[in-house]
Amino acid sequence: MPASAEGPALIELRNISKHYGEGQTRVDALVGVTAAVYPGEIVGLLGPSGSGKTTLLNVIGCVIEPSEGWMMLDRERVYDAQWLRADLRRLRLEKIGFVFQTPNLLPFLNSTENVAAVMELMSVRPREARARALQLLNYLDVGHRGLSMPGQLSGGEAQRVAIARALANAPRIILADEPTAALDSQRAGVVMDLLRRVAIDRRAAIVVVTHDEKIFDRFDRVFHLRDGRLDATAAGGVK
């Protein structure tokens, strides 16, 4: 555990595997992955195309069901040879925030409304949701763009709004898939600084899938996936 992290793991995986097909057509996307990510920690997930990075992120995000293994999220066992929650959508709303390479903002909603929409899915009243959304946008230094439509935002601004949306349900687990790939070095640095602030302020565990070499030095630890297997020897830094 790095010095910046403390407390029980927020993400804990034991022998997670995922395969598709059977017999000669079987493809092993993940093989016996065991790992933990702690509060206040940003972990990079690296590996060549086809190594299983996105599959692993989707397993942690409860989007893809593993073939075997055990998984705990925010101190709740959610998978043990089968899903232990019937409503996975609710589980994701309660525990996980997602950030993607493309912000995927709803084009017919302004920035504040894009963030508030997540809270309204959790039955927060619209007025309260909008107020809390604006607080998040201010926290991420983009509150002045609260009434702007997605098409009026720069790439960096749109990504900050997307991060605010990921925080709308107050998750302690944030999964980011290539969040800086479409940004230049300066804007990529801003995004990573914001994620660092979130990790520290909210004691969140953040996993970032990336090929973006300019942010490698921003991680507390790095996990390398090769052919679906986690290279634990490289978990202490970029090698």
Average pLDDT, the chain: 89
Please report where in the chains the tokens 């075997």 appear, as a residue.
68
For the chain, domains (ranges, CATH) are: 11-103+172-234 (3.40.50.300)
Mean predicted confidence (pLDDT) in 70-86? 95
- Residue 235 confidence (pLDDT) above 50: no
- Residue 233 confidence (pLDDT) above 80: no
Q: What is the pLDDT of residues 189-221, one digit of tens each?
A: 888 888 998 899 989 999 999 888 888 888 999
Q: Which residues pair with 46 in a beta bridge?
A: 224
Fill in the DSSP letter of residue 25: G
pLDDT at position 5, please? 55
- Residue 143 confidence (pLDDT) above 50: yes
pLDDT at position 92, please? 92
- Residue 129 confidence (pLDDT) above 70: yes
Mean predicted confidence (pLDDT) in 46-71? 93
CA atoms within 13 A on the CB side of 18: 24
Q: Angle between the 126-139 and 155-167 helix axes, to the nearest 10 degrees?
A: 130
Beta-strand (E) ranges in 81-150? 96-100
Mean predicted confidence (pLDDT) in 75-95? 93
pLDDT at position 7, please? 73
Contact yes or no for 101/178 (Cβ under 8 A): yes
Q: What is the pLDDT of residues 27-54, one digit of tens each?
A: 899 999 999 999 999 999 998 888 889 9
Q: What is the pLDDT of residues 104-113, one digit of tens each?
A: 999 999 999 9
